[in-house]
Amino acid sequence: MKVLAIKFENYRNLKNDIIQPCEGVNIIYGDNAQGKTNLLEAIWLFCGGHSFRNAKDSEMIKWNESFAGLEMRFFGQEREQTAKLILSGNKKQVEINGVEKKSAAALIEKFCAVVFSPEHLNLIKRGPSQRRKFIDSAICREKLQNAVILSKFNRVLVQRNSLLKDIYRRPSLEDTLSVWDEPLILNGAMLIKKRMDYVEMLLNRAKSYHDGISKNSENLEIKYISSIDAEMSDSVEEIAEKFRKKLIDNRKDDIRTGVTNFGPHRDDIEILINGKNARAFGSQGQQRSAVLSLKLAEASVLKERMGEEPVILLDDVLSELDSKRQDFLLNELKGCQVFITCCEKSNKEQLKEGKIFLLKNGEVC
């Protein structure tokens, strides 16, 4: 997967222009607030139409303009293709290879990328919900079926929790709880299995990348922590049985608290560096290296599933990394197209081969 050219019009603070990156490493260099992250965001939008900064469409349109337009020419699925996005308030128009599509979801199966931004450090710095979100986002981008399973589970969970609150006030409703238990168990077991399979695929890849980034000075481990005691070797049926038992054994507590206390919505992914929890004991540089390793491992899994390398977008990735770790990202990521934003002059001078773009006041040079 390679971006051959990208054109933007009325997009955030970027001046209307076309840029043509190289097939290897592309550095977007400049001071803060010049539009570097906006450029990465523009590329990421072609992964499905959503900003990795959770921005609304209206926020991506240049001030006093009625629309923003993006057009990308890329090589993927063994041929050159084009995609267009028009943002106008709450409306989004999508065109792929000259054919208009009903929604931006059509882009998911055409173009793929992996993004790292400073917000992704929350994978380590914050609670389990951030790590679950990372895994769920990854498996949903692999297959739309996984997104359906996740959506069904979340919908049933909301309904069950609502019923639990009603049962506390009206005990006679308890007999209806089983109506929601079985779909919760079925979709929950499939979701846990999908997550565990994905974590298993990440394990060695993340460790290998972390060995390279840390120059073999640190050991990275990832563990899936199941609230229903599911194990990596369990089948969907075995996970479902464990989930069912947990719901039965803890029904009284669920009714008392008004929430479902066990299930995939309570699971976590533990990240360890040299056997210690990265959140509690990792330095800023170690935490950044660990998250980077996970994102690069995500790209490796995407390659295996989709048959080609995704584009890698690294926003403000080099700060708080020593020169050896920076060198790995700039010069040792082979076979894939990379976009890296940075501010420091010394960062771009480490690049041995690639292309450098200066961004100043929204203008790309």
Residue given tokens 């710095």 in the structure block: 125
Distances (CA, A) of 133 to 86, 168, 195, 320: 28, 30, 11, 25
Which is nearest to 254 in space by CA: 315, 184, 330?
Answer: 184
Q: How far is the C-alpha of 74 from the C-alpha of 86, rounded, in Å?
A: 18
Q: How far is the C-alpha of 161 from the C-alpha of 259, rounded, in Å?
A: 5
What is residue 114's predicted lDDT score, i.e. its pLDDT?
A: 92
What is residue 248's predicted lDDT score, i.e. its pLDDT?
A: 95
Do residues 209 and 296 make contact, with C-beta atoms less than 8 angstroms apart? Answer: yes
What is residue 345's predicted lDDT score, i.e. its pLDDT?
A: 61
Query: 189 Cβ partners below 8 Å, 6+ apart?
Result: 236, 237, 239, 240, 243
Q: How far is the C-alpha of 121 from the C-alpha of 116, rounded, in Å?
A: 9
Q: Let me know the angle formed at the C-alpha of 142 by 1 and 21, rounded to the nearest 5 degrees.
A: 20
Do residues 85 and 104 make contact, with C-beta atoms less than 8 angstroms apart? Answer: yes
Distances (CA, A) of 88 to 56, 59, 72, 304: 11, 10, 18, 36
How many alpha carbons fall within 13 Å on the CB side of residue 296?
27
Q: Tens-of-pLDDT digits for all 365 residues of the chain?
A: 999 999 999 999 999 999 999 999 999 989 888 999 999 999 999 998 889 888 888 999 999 999 999 999 999 989 999 999 999 977 889 999 999 998 888 888 789 899 998 888 899 999 999 999 999 988 887 777 899 999 999 999 999 999 999 998 899 999 899 899 999 999 999 999 999 999 999 999 999 999 999 888 999 999 999 999 999 999 999 999 999 999 999 999 999 999 999 999 999 999 999 999 999 998 888 999 999 999 999 999 888 877 889 999 999 888 778 888 888 888 888 889 999 998 876 666 788 889 999 999 999 88
Which is nearest to 135 in space by CA: 206, 49, 45, 47?
Answer: 206
Map out the domains of the chain with their CATH numbers: 2-112+310-364 (3.40.50.300), 124-279 (1.20.1050.90)
Which is nearest to 166 in space by CA: 177, 182, 152, 154?
Answer: 177
Do residues 110 and 81 make contact, with C-beta atoms less than 8 angstroms apart? Answer: yes
Q: Let me know the angle formed at the C-alpha of 158 by 156 and 164, rounded to the nearest 5 degrees.
A: 100
Query: 304 Cβ partners below 8 Å, 6+ apart?
Result: 201
Residue type at 229 in one-letter notation: D
Centroid of chain to Cα 241: 30
What is residue 349's predicted lDDT score, i.e. its pLDDT?
A: 73
Strands 355-360 and 25-29: parallel
Axis crossing angle, helix 178-213 with helix 236-249, rounded to the nearest 10: 120
What is residue 346's predicted lDDT score, i.e. its pLDDT?
A: 61
What is residue 173's predicted lDDT score, i.e. its pLDDT?
A: 92
| 207-211 own/partner pairs: CB under 8 Å, 24+ apart | 207/293, 209/292, 209/293, 209/296, 209/297, 209/300, 210/289, 210/290, 210/293
